[in-house]
Amino acid sequence: MPERASWQVIAGLTGLLVLSSLVWMFQGIGGGNRSFILTLRATKLAGLITVGASIAIATVLFQTVAANRVLTPSIMGFDALYLLLQTLLVASVGITGFAMLDPTLKFLAEIAVMVLLAGLLFGTLLGRGARDIPRTILTGVILGVLFRSISGFVSRILDPNAYAVVQSVSFASFGSINASLLLPGGLIAAGMIAAAFALSSRLDVLALGRTAAVSLGLRHRRMVLLTLALVAVLVSVSTALVGPVGFFGLLVAGLAHGAAASDRHAALLPIAGLIGALILVAGQTIFERAMSQPATLSVVVEFAGGLFFLYLLMKGRIR
């Protein structure tokens, strides 16, 4: 159970999230088409909350496995891997086949392959905690570049139409959410987040490092793979909904660690999820409504996250 100071943070963040959701839903509404606009806004709101919470919680989980505050799933190439899977799928079934596949079914298959690959790749890389951090970062960056170049290469040998299909899923956009996947994606993300909450005490033990965790009787290897599987699913969901998001997770996880009274996951996970959702909902409300720039949020969030990354590196806060 989170302690009191953390409860206050959780309550405050929940209040702010409700408030910005209300503004998002009802600001400037009137006249005809009310129900149409409300449905549209509600869909987008659900998407923003799903994506914000998924990325935030995936990042916190990943940082716990890696015992490191600089690494994130996207820095390690998780979303690039997901995009590569999509490209390979287009390449293997062809563009007409791609369009004809049931989106939910396709999505589930992608998630399954993603979990498998992420477990194989990152399970080996991080199984004993990332001991050599610079090397791990480098490996991740190289993997990301590798995945992206293979995606690029494969899509270029496809015909131009297919290339466009791949391109359209290669950039993050909080303004246009893939609505066809919102329901399955949201449900899956909710399930994963619930699982992470249920594991919070084990995650605390995992964060103590392998020696202490094994001494305390945690099945370390199983826990690492389980956590990476949760991360892989959450990243797949958010990437499928809005596309790849770079430094946003880093920013949110950093803020969550600062806001929580201590690093116990029972408090850290809800706080991170709320901050992630809040930034996207409040940010999108401001940019879309007040500034009429629905596509700007991702740029600003990425910029802030990138600055935070530099700050962490320069402060030498690698651990």
Partner 1 sequence: MIEIHDLHYRVGAAPILSDISLSLPEGSLTALIGPNGAGKSTLLRLMARLEPLQSGRITVEGLDLATTPTDAMARTLAIMGQQNSVASRLRVRELVGFGRWPHHQGRPRAADREAVEAAIDAFGLQPFAGRFLDELSGGQVQRAFLAMTFAQDTAWMLLDEPLNNLDVAHARALMARLAQLVQDTGRSVVAVVHEVNYAAAWADHVVAMKHGRIVAQGAAEAVLTEDLLSDLYDTPVEVSRHDGRPLVLHHHSHSRIADLSRGRLPDRARLS
State the DSSP code for 287: I
Minimum CB distance to partner 1 smaller for 40 or for 216? 216
Could you tell me which stretch among 37-45, 50-58, 61-69, 119-127 binds partner 1 (CB under 8 A)?
61-69
Site for partner 1 in 190-209 (CB under 8 A): 200-202, 204-205, 207-209
Q: Does 27 bind partner 1 (CB under 8 A)?
A: no
Q: Which two tokens stand for residue 139?
A: 């490996």
* CA 48 to chain CA centroid, nearest Å: 11
41, 69, 106, 289: which one contacts partner 1 (CB under 8 A)? 69
Angle between helices 265-285 and 297-314 (to 10 degrees): 140
Could you tell me which stretch among 23-31, 40-48, 63-71, 108-116 binds partner 1 (CB under 8 A)?
63-71
Q: Does 215 bind partner 1 (CB under 8 A)?
A: yes
- Cβ neighbors of 224 (< 8 A, separation 6 or more) are 65, 123, 126, 127, 206
Q: Within 67-102, where are the H helices?
A: 78-100
Cα 187 to Cα 43, 192, 199, 204, distances in angstroms: 14, 9, 19, 26
User: Rounded CA gap, 184 and 180, in Å?
Assistant: 9
Minimum CB distance to partner 1 smaller for 49 or for 196? 196
Q: Which residue has the tokens 């999230």?
A: 17
For the bound state, the minimum distance from the C-beta of residue 166 to partner 1, rounded and expressed in Å, comes to 38
Q: Does 319 bind partner 1 (CB under 8 A)?
A: yes
Minimum CB distance to partner 1 smaller for 3 or for 159? 3
Q: How many residues bind partner 1 (CB under 8 A)?
A: 26
30, 32, 217, 316: which one contacts partner 1 (CB under 8 A)? 217
* C-beta of residue 30 within 8 angstroms of C-beta of residue 292: no
Q: Does 251 bind partner 1 (CB under 8 A)?
A: no
* C-beta of residue 181 within 8 angstroms of C-beta of residue 241: yes
Task: Report the interface residues with partner 1, using CB under 8 A.
Answer: 64, 67-69, 200-202, 204-205, 207-212, 214-219, 257, 262-264, 319
